[in-house]
Structure 1
Amino acid sequence: MGQMLIFGLGYAAGHLAERLRARGWDVVGTTQDGRGDSIAFDDEGAVLAAVRSATHILSSVPPAKGADPVLARYREAIAIAPATWVGYLSSTGVYGDADGAWVYESAPVKGRRPDRNAADAAWQRLRGDVSVFRLPGIYGPGRSILDRIREGRAHRIALPDQVFSRVHVDDIAGGVIASFRGPAGVYNLADDEPCHQNRLVEWGCAMLGAPLPPLQTLDEAGLSPAARAFYAENRRVANGKAKRLLSWNPRYPTYREGLAACR
């Protein structure tokens, strides 16, 4: 069994931690305030000790204020750490808009957020054993379209050609674990069926017996800037590399299986 250090015990990383602990791993993670049994990110002594003792190191911390906080603070320590595996949870947002085309790991990095693009590249350069996981929209228990439907926050947007990819949180954990025995590199982790967000809303409403939200334009929906930005990019995320090189296959290959597991 290994010792995993996770920078940023958020939603996806927390699910990974649970999976590893169930397998007998020793897992320690950082949070901003050191709540529970985590380490405070600013507790440099404790973090450096964890870096030195970890066999595996993962960062799920996104860029902030134009920089990657983990690399800004602990780059040198991670670069020389004795860990045999290092990983970073990135975003398929680095690909930018593809006008609905498939994007592969070899696609140009041209996302609209320079800090996210730079962080993705910086982790790849850090050392030779880094695996970077580019993730699309993440969903799972407590964070899915079913929750938004129940809360009256679901929208159907009149953009008929818009396509998105997504990944269930358990499949992120499965992909990371599969990479422990695979080659380092950049991997897309996404399900097998990109589709319009409206299809999820319609499927979820049918599951819950809820009425469909009205079909609206972006302006009519009154979406937040972050939500509007979600609709500014259009792409299908290919997952074949992870399947070939990591022998990873999503437990939830489409939103149908994934949402059934979220009820």
Structure 2
Amino acid sequence: MHVLILGAGFSGTAIAKELLPLADSVTGTTRSETKAARLAVQGVTPLIFDGETLSPALLEAMARTTHLIQSIAPGRAGDPLMRPGQPALEALMPELAWAGYLSTVGVYGDHGGAWVDEETPLHPVSDRSRERVEAEAQWLAFGEAAGLPVAVLRLSGIYGPGRNGFRNLAEGTARRLVKPGQVFNRIRVEDIAGATRFLIERGLGGIYNVTDDEPAPPQDVVAEAARLMGIDPPPEIPFETATLTPMARSFYGENKRVSNAKLRDAGYAFLYPNYRQSLAALWEAGNWGG
């Protein structure tokens, strides 16, 4: 198995770590020389990719790739491998046997706190979510045309070692914003990696929500992290009076409960099914700082 991860950031690096013991090679792309050095230390072959130019080294990696994970956000120009003028994927990756596209639960839009699943019609609110919907459709169409399993992993709010409420509290950036009725799902980065491995090992394609069991108010998660640290949580701030960036405010414009039943029914057992268990494990392990 020769793995290529386009966009080996927080999630992509966790996936690489999960797949290294199984693979003949794992290659990951990044835009930064500094991040490339970090990938190399972890045993991943790093390549610089700006999201535009397919270098000779990247083309060589693509030619031997059997398993692809695409983690680069499309942006206004669209998915980097689906843009007009790019060579056909079948020509770039003739050995490809499985592909995974990392998307977001933001494609569902706002459902007023109701439950959604993979069959729920998509009503994306933000431009970035609309771009994801288009990219998802392109990847699924590619899989159908090529006769290959392509999995779309719709991820909820990602956290894990180095990116979590403990760090926010320690750095003084944590806030308890309160918007009545607002809930979010979350997902530990290790479960993103585990779900990817699960889908690869079973050759599964299709759409899967990769998210925890328990959508919860964001202020409750901050309070639980503070409790475990043995400190007072920051004061509650009404959402209406909070100073937020336009992007942060847009997240609160989408309220839904995302079901992971399809992935569970396929046989995947989540390592961290809820935020309380997950935060407790992070605190006990002492690796919350990264």
| Fold shared by both chains (TM-score > 0.5) | yes
Would you say 1:7 and 2:6 are equivalent positions?
A: yes
Query: Which residue matches 1:94?
Result: 107
Residues 5 and 56 of structure 1 are in contact (CA less than 8 Å); yes or no, is this contact kept in structure 2? yes
Q: CA deviation at 1:165?
A: 0.5
Kindly tell me: are residues 210 and 70 of structure 1, through their superposed partners in 2, closer, same or farther at Cα, counting changes over 3 Å? farther
Residues 171 and 252 of structure 1 are in contact (CA less than 8 Å); yes or no, is this contact kept in structure 2? yes
Supply the distance in 2 between the matched residues of 1:251 and 1:105 (Cα, whole angstroms): 21
Which AA in structure 2 matches 1:179? L
Kindly tell me: are residues 75 and 120 of structure 1, through their superposed partners in 2, closer, same or farther at Cα, counting changes over 3 Å? farther
Would you say 1:145 and 2:162 are equivalent positions?
A: no
Query: Which residue matches 2:41?
Result: none
Q: What percent identity do the matched residue pairs reach?
A: 38
1:179-237 CA deviation, whole Å, 9 max, x = no partner?
A: 01143100001111111111101101101122221111224331222221221110111
Q: CA deviation at 1:253?
A: 0.6
1:85-131 CA deviation, whole Å, 9 max, x = no partner?
A: 01100000000001111111111121122212211211111123210
Q: Structure 2: where are the runs of 5+ without partners?
A: 38-44, 284-290
Query: Which residue matches 1:252?
Result: 272
Supply the distance in 2 between the matched residues of 1:195 and 1:176 (Cα, whole angstroms): 24
Q: Structure 1: where are the runs of 5+ without partners?
A: none
Q: Give the alignment's TM-score, normalised by structure 2.
A: 0.85
Would you say 1:107 and 2:120 are equivalent positions?
A: yes
**Which of the residues 56, 59, 73 maps onto 1:62?**
73
SS of the aligned residue for 1:131 comes to strand
Moved more, 116-125 or 192-201: 116-125
Kindly tell me: are residues 172 and 86 of structure 1, through their superposed partners in 2, closer, same or farther at Cα, counting changes over 3 Å? same
Residues 89 and 135 of structure 1 are in contact (CA less than 8 Å); yes or no, is this contact kept in structure 2? yes
Would you say 1:187 and 2:187 are equivalent positions?
A: no
Q: Give the alignment's TM-score, normalised by structure 1.
A: 0.93
SS of the aligned residue for 1:71 comes to coil
Moved more, 222-231 or 33-42: 33-42
Supply the distance in 2 between the matched residues of 1:156 and 1:48 (Cα, whole angstroms): 46
Would you say 1:206 and 2:227 are equivalent positions?
A: yes
Supply the distance in 1 between the matched residues of 2:235 and 2:241 (Cα, whole angstroms): 10
Residues 3 and 23 of structure 2 are in contact (CA less than 8 Å); yes or no, is this contact kept in structure 1? no
Would you say 1:125 and 2:141 are equivalent positions?
A: yes
Supply the distance in 2 between the matched residues of 1:134 and 1:79 (Cα, whole angstroms): 24
Would you say 1:262 and 2:270 are equivalent positions?
A: no
Supply the distance in 2 between the matched residues of 1:24 and 1:51 (Cα, whole angstroms): 15
Supply the distance in 2 between the matched residues of 1:195 and 1:9 (Cα, whole angstroms): 29
SS of the aligned residue for 1:260 comes to helix
Query: Which residue matches 1:215?
Result: 236
Query: Which residue matches 2:58?
Result: 47
Query: Which residue matches 1:134?
Result: 154
Query: Which residue matches 1:240?
Result: 261
